[in-house]
Structure 1
Amino acid sequence: MIDVARQEPQQRQQSVVQLRNEVVKYEQDDLLQAWGVQVSNEPVRLEGRQLPPPRVMYGLNKTEAPRDGAWNLMGKSFVTPAQPLVSWAIINFTRCHDQDVRAFGDQLSVTLGKLGIKSRPPVYKSGGQGGHAAVADLIRVTTTEAFKASKAPPQLIVCLLEANQPQLYESIKRVAMKELFMPVPTQCVNVKKAKIGFGTVSDQYVANVGMKINVKIGGGNHAVSSQDLPNLPPTTMLMGADVTHPPPGLGLESIAASVATVDGGRMIYGHEVRLQRNPGRGQSQEIILAMKSMVVTHLKRWQQKNKGQLPGAILMYRDGISEGQFAAAKDVEIRAIREAVQIVQPGAKIKLTYVVCGKRHHVRFSAESPADTDRTGNLRAGTVVDKGVTNPVAFEFFLQAHAGLIGTAKPTRYIVLEDECKFSNDALQTVTNTLCYSYSRATRSVSLPPPAYYSDILAEKARALLWGDFDAQSMATGTSGSSRPYEPLEEAKAMELMGRISKRPEFGLSAWYM
């Protein structure tokens, strides 16, 4: 299975052709012959094009030109550094020596300073062995000391972990989000990847940690040039939404999540989480039933940041909807967005473009000429195809915005269900490709626009927090690593997460879930 997944595009294409000609043999199928259906024994030849990468902007007016979907953070500072870290802590849950932990803390402070985040020395603690209760006690003591030392609420807890400690990781996240007086962002660090105790701390790993920390405490790492976003004025709100489901038959609710930008800077996203009941009989509800209330909150956040003004348009990237649900999406979600606008400001007119993006398909592309590939044999980042394998009467395209790393890269399929903004094909393809370079956690383009990507991550993180003791991997496969049965959640308990976030207003605008 692993060898098949690692196949390069040309090898994969040859395997598919061989399977079709030597095993499947469609021409010998009586039913296909009776209906006059013919299946070619060669791959379909298509025309595609490569979109140019956008300019990536950092602090001090520095820009970076990506190459094959990637660029370097070296010598750059964040375009919007977070507020100085004056109340924070580093907790060592490993056997690393104190002097090595402090050396890491010093290196992290230096790196954050180079990236634009000023910091005071953190509080250092170690321990936490003995299960969830011990972890909770240690985090409470640590945050209390950080508060006393700085006279300010704790801003961040950095936790040093050994590799592969999922239960400890989950305990840390649950305590920080649900069991303290108010939620505190956490950043877990793998001591082996950081090379703590090996003499020299990994600069690249620490820089990557710095990127995560900045967005978790309210900063923005990098931005893309507005010149590379045609027909997308700063008054356009970017929005994303997704739903994550429990395994069938457990009686658990699904979790819907959405994110939305709060201003024209397009770096800071507000977020909302809702719990929704499924119809039963093993079915999951993919359509977001609470879309209206989430959009109302997003619009009010925009108003607060923009002197009472609403956005002029909304560009929604909706992940996870299948073709059979398109009609329901238009009838429920698109209608809910419009109703939300009228709740916030009766009579307001906000243009809406609603784009479904998905990767649950079997379409793969490969280049005829090696000159059109990158070092992995995949098509170059920015390849778009909108003819031949798309619906001729629909607004649809395939975009591979990212560079493949191993195996054959999978393009993302985009289908526009509503377009009041009147995007041309070229404009929406360019906007989508450009946004894929604005993902805050990496110095490379990604396969989905950040609004869709962030909502997916948020939904998964909320699921892990709300479903407590159960391992996310087990949930995904429908099995449990615990002998305890699943218990349906009460709505009030599930919505406690958003209530906790509201206790700290700035938390609603920070990407704590990253």
Structure 2
Amino acid sequence: MTSRSPTYHLMTRPGYGAEGRRIRLVANHFDVKLTKTDAVFYQYTLTITPDDVWGYKAAQNKVYGRKIVNRLYEIYSKELNNKRFAYDGGSSLFTVGPLPQNNFEFTVVLEDSSARATAAGPGDGSTVGGDLKRSKRSGFMKRFIVGIKFVAKFPMRSIALALRGSEREDAQDALGVLDIILKQQQAERGCLVLRSCYFDGNHTNIVDLAGGVCACRGFHSSFRTTEGGLSLNSDVSTTIIIKPGPVVEFLLENQNIQDPRQIDWAKANRMLKKMKIKAIHNKMEYKVIGISKLACNMQTFSMKERNSEGETQTVEMTVYNYFQNKRNITVTRSASMPCLDVGKPERPCYLPIELCHLLSLQRYTKELSFQRRVSLAEKCSQKPLERMRVIADAVNDNRYDKDPMLNACGVSIDTRMTTLTGRVLNCPLLKVGNMEDCVPRNGRWNFNQKTLLQPCELLHNQWAIVNFSGHCDLSHLSRELIKCARNRGSKMEEPSVFLEEDREWMRSDPILRVEKMFKKLETKFTEPPRFILCVLPERKICPWKRKNLYQFGIVTQCIAPPKSLKDQYLANVLLKINSKLGGINSLLSVECKRSIPLISQTPTMILAMDVSHGPPGLSFPSVAAVVGSRHWPLISRYRASVRIQSPKLEMIDSLYKPGENGDEGMVRDLLLDFYKTNGGMKPAQMIIFRDGVSDSQLMEVLNVELNQIIKVFEHLGDTTMPKFTVIVAQKKHHTRFFIADNSDNVPPGTVVDNTVVHPRNYDFYMCAHQGRLGTSRPIHYDVLLDEIGFAPDDLQKLVHSLSYVNQKGNAAVSMGKTASLSLLAFCLPPSSPPPDDVECSFPSSVAPVCYAHLAARQLSQCFDLSDTSGGDLPNKAGVPHLPELHENVRRSMFFC
């Protein structure tokens, strides 16, 4: 058979949707006018070469780079025809129009008063530690040879052509230059710049999250080509920073202790490493490289001093005595504490910790605890009206009309938000027990006075309850859950086993705690039970699910129950249990009636794909997950296939892997399962949802991942290839919608496919859920390919309906609900640190995408971080092998 493997291109918009109630909206996009379309951006490569060894590190430093470029302009502006620069902080300069020549070489002298150049001995720049020559360099001059060389040019006209639908690669380059101009403007104001987000550290923007950690509010700004023209997308953003102030106070708060004598210095060393501090005795800034082994009054160093006869001799002196005798500073509070080492590995430089203050705007890159995540969501969320006001104020305060570079390229930014028309789709009708209708309200529904469509049966000897929490009445929990289940039509008998954890193991290693609990279980069951309900404390991490999913094949549900067990809480737990055991809670009415356009008439399989990455800075394998629908014409039941791949790799490389250890890839597993569950029927159509990719990776989804899926069909010998529809769901964007003249969030079902969408490509925004915390964040759907041929209305209604097939809850799916955080904190490995921009609203996506996300997250617990001793996972022999799920749970919806 001839390989298909075509090269795809992003499809153009076939039309617009028309169904739904029209609604007047405001978007956080600001119109941009281009008054000089004949302007041209010129790109130059910037090389900074130190004239001596002392300037080498400065040449590699972005902060120094900006200082050097600013100094260059001050000295040589006439030679450069007074051309303003847009500097990216790295190796590129941009100008509007050309410089007088293509190559320049300048000498720039920069006075350096940094502590890194003068640090010696105890770090005050004095003649200590026998480093007389080095100590005299306080405020010395650094010389750099700066080269400027022409590379390319990007006409502003390309942006105008792209706005009219032309495919122009240089248009994205020109937009990138405009974004660099925005970054430079904020960097010159002293802001922390993270991609396209800016944080100024003003105390009014700092929110204390406890534990020495703060949330810092800032802003996102970027230029976007839209159907309505070029726009500036401006939004609120948040990052996590270290609380500035005395280092000792930070450590006490971070470790939640009162007495400095209780400080865990090993933990403190990990926390403080690479942080920047300011010494209060000399007002100089340093970077921490570690902590001294001995206390301040015992840690010694060698220094040279003259005796009474004028001879130089080397003496040993403690840091404490040095500051007491040489600097006339009495170290009181931290005399018995270790010192901060702010020198170099081969030349330590010690400072008493009480003289050190943490600088502001330093990112916190460790994982956030459950309590801090909840605190972040509560304190940093903003209601729509407040968010609109903050965004509008930020655009006005930035005074873009005064920026010389924007003026030079003819960019004029309106200060009013864009108005547009959206549509609100009707909530789909659901069917529950006895085929009774269930009508969602505001994106939610409940099972009060209703039963489950296909309830599971759980007999007395088939399940158990285990308790890792010290405060839970298991008998009461069991009675209330059984009562709730029977009210919803599910036959659930009292469990045969109640197991409490022995108190002596509660402070042990989580792995040991789980082993001890399973030994107890083995004495109670001759064969593994069908189901285990596990009660967990909120603030613990435990490999409980790993043991069940891989070794014993037991379906398990973890809960951290509140003190008061309400019926709604128990009903939500029951929905998850029923889904995992093979039951069905509800179906779409159109599923039951087989009336979904183009799907109910033709065998169709739905796939959803996502990748979960490990913490930044670690070579922790990424986990890829694909879920596939099983029982056509239903679109509510799914199975997952999971593999691991190279760290930080976003494109999934194991969709098709012929002949590799008997593993032929994830898609083959799901296709064979579809074939078996549908009586030997093969899918004639495939709808693929992809989560987590950026705009720059859309073509890779088509030409890398889709081609892998095509190869799976070829490998299975199919002569007829199915039709494909490929849709990317993006959560990480900054477009928000507000109801004009209204303080409420947009209603569930709001869809926008005009004005702020792409001028050429097929995309739309949809908010399927009811925003309850902060401002609703819509999902941005990019339709990359549609061989099936959906009408715009039919595709939008399908996407909307797929948000309601959620079997693990009773609301249109919302990614990252606060209620699930306590369970993730226990059942899953430590979360990755907060990204550059933290979003506190919870976007709703189609249920299959959420399932893929949950499956990848759950299976990532197969890696035991304790084996790495806090470092990288060993990866010399390639990516480690992920064991297969136990046969008993492989086909279940374990990810619910």
Give the TM-score category using the shorter length: 0.7 to 0.9
Q: Are 1:512 and 2:876 counterparts?
A: no
| One of 581, 592, 616 as aligned partner of 1:217 | 581
Q: Are 1:485 and 2:866 counterparts?
A: no
Contact 1:275 1:491 survives alignment (8 Å):
no
Alignment of 1:248-397 (within 5 A): 248-264=616-632, 265-278=634-647, 284-292=648-656, 293-370=665-742, 377-397=744-764
Q: Hey, what does 1:89 align to over in structure 2?
A: 464
Question: Using a 3 Å threshold, how does the CA distance of structure 1 residues 13 and 492 change in structure 2: closer, same or farther?
Answer: closer
Q: Aligned AA for 1:511?
A: M
> In structure 1, the residue corresponding to 2:419 is in which secondary structure?
coil
How many angstroms does 1:156 deviate by?
1.0
Q: Hey, what does 2:135 align to over in structure 1?
A: none
Structure 1: state its 5+ residue gaps: 196-200, 279-283, 371-375, 471-481
How many angstroms does 1:431 deviate by?
0.5
Contact 1:238 1:314 survives alignment (8 Å):
yes
Deviations 1:443-486 (A, max 9, x none): 1112010111110111111112334549xxxxxxxxxxx95434
Higher strand share: 2
How many angstroms does 1:439 deviate by?
1.2
Deviations 1:179-199 (A, max 9, x none): x4x2212212224x153xxxx
How many angstroms does 1:128 deviate by?
4.5
Alignment of 1:416-427 (within 5 A): 416-427=783-794
| Aligned residues: CA RMSD | 2.2
Question: Using a 3 Å threshold, how does the CA distance of structure 1 residues 89 and 493 change in structure 2: closer, same or farther?
Answer: farther
Please give the alpha-carbon distance, in whole angstroms, between the structure 2 residues aligned to 1:111 and 1:144: 30
Contact 1:359 1:411 survives alignment (8 Å):
yes
Contact 1:296 1:343 survives alignment (8 Å):
no
TM-score normalised by the chain length of structure 1: 0.86
Deviations 1:33-60 (A, max 9, x none): 2222221110011111000100011111
| One of 547, 555, 560 as aligned partner of 1:175 | 547
Q: Hey, what does 2:235 align to over in structure 1?
A: none
Alignment of 1:121-200 (within 5 A): 121-122=494-495, 123-129=497-503, 130=505, 131=508, 132-145=511-524, 147-148=525-526, 153-162=528-537, 164-167=538-541, 170-178=542-550, 180=551, 182-191=552-561, 193=562, 195=564
Structure 2: state its 5+ residue gaps: 1-216, 218-375, 657-664, 814-843
Q: Aligned AA for 2:670?
A: H
Contact 2:646 2:879 survives alignment (8 Å):
no
Q: Are 1:465 and 2:862 counterparts?
A: yes
Question: Using a 3 Å threshold, how does the CA distance of structure 1 residues 215 and 469 change in structure 2: closer, same or farther?
Answer: farther
Q: Hey, what does 1:30 align to over in structure 2?
A: 404
Question: Using a 3 Å threshold, how does the CA distance of structure 1 residues 104 and 429 change in structure 2: closer, same or farther?
Answer: same
Contact 2:726 2:784 survives alignment (8 Å):
yes
Deviations 1:411-455 (A, max 9, x none): 000001111111121111111011101111221112010111110
Question: Using a 3 Å threshold, how does the CA distance of structure 1 residues 166 and 331 change in structure 2: closer, same or farther?
Answer: same
Q: Aligned AA for 1:360?
A: K
> In structure 2, the residue corresponding to 1:301 is in which secondary structure?
helix
Question: Using a 3 Å threshold, how does the CA distance of structure 1 residues 413 and 347 change in structure 2: closer, same or farther?
Answer: same
Deviations 1:236-264 (A, max 9, x none): 11111001112344222211111011112
Question: Using a 3 Å threshold, how does the CA distance of structure 1 residues 345 and 49 change in structure 2: closer, same or farther?
Answer: same
Q: Hey, what does 2:490 align to over in structure 1?
A: 117
Q: Aligned AA for 2:572?
A: N
Alignment of 1:4-43 (within 5 A): 5-21=380-396, 23-43=397-417
Please give the alpha-carbon distance, in whole angstroms, between the structure 1 residues aligned to 2:717 and 2:540: 45
Deviations 1:146-183 (A, max 9, x none): x44xxx64111112233x2322xx232233234x4x22
Please give the alpha-carbon distance, in whole angstroms, between the structure 1 residues aligned to 2:433 and 2:608: 26
Please give the alpha-carbon distance, in whole angstroms, between the structure 1 residues aligned to 2:502 and 2:894: 22
Q: Hey, what does 2:570 align to over in structure 1?
A: 206
Higher mean Cα deviation, 25-34 or 44-53? 25-34
Question: Using a 3 Å threshold, how does the CA distance of structure 1 residues 389 and 144 change in structure 2: closer, same or farther?
Answer: farther
TM-score normalised by the chain length of structure 2: 0.50
Deviations 1:364-393 (A, max 9, x none): 0001143xxxxx710100000001111122
Please give the alpha-carbon distance, in whole angstroms, between the structure 2 residues aligned to 1:89 and 1:50: 45
Q: Aligned AA for 1:87?
A: Q
Matched residues, number: 470
Question: Using a 3 Å threshold, how does the CA distance of structure 1 residues 469 and 187 change in structure 2: closer, same or farther?
Answer: farther
Higher helix share: 1
How many angstroms does 1:137 deviate by?
2.4
Please give the alpha-carbon distance, in whole angstroms, between the structure 1 residues aligned to 2:457 and 2:719: 38
Q: Hey, what does 1:373 align to over in structure 2?
A: none
Please give the alpha-carbon distance, in whole angstroms, between the structure 1 residues aligned to 2:627 and 2:864: 21
Please give the alpha-carbon distance, in whole angstroms, between the structure 2 residues aligned to 1:495 and 1:320: 22
Please give the alpha-carbon distance, in whole angstroms, between the structure 1 residues aligned to 2:536 and 2:644: 31
Alignment of 1:401-412 (within 5 A): 401-412=768-779
Q: Aligned AA for 1:61?
A: M
Question: Using a 3 Å threshold, how does the CA distance of structure 1 residues 52 and 94 change in structure 2: closer, same or farther?
Answer: same
How many angstroms does 1:95 deviate by?
3.4
Q: Hey, what does 2:804 align to over in structure 1?
A: 437
Contact 1:258 1:294 survives alignment (8 Å):
yes
Using the aligned pairs only, state the percent identity.
Answer: 29
Q: Aligned AA for 2:580?
A: K
Structure showing greater radius of gyration is 2
Please give the alpha-carbon distance, in whole angstroms, between the structure 2 residues aligned to 1:404 and 1:344: 45
Higher mean Cα deviation, 358-367 or 248-257? 248-257
> In structure 2, the residue corresponding to 1:48 is in which secondary structure?
strand
> In structure 1, the residue corresponding to 2:782 is in which secondary structure?
strand
How many angstroms does 1:96 deviate by?
4.0
> In structure 2, the residue corresponding to 1:360 is in which secondary structure?
coil
Question: Using a 3 Å threshold, how does the CA distance of structure 1 residues 430 and 104 change in structure 2: closer, same or farther?
Answer: same
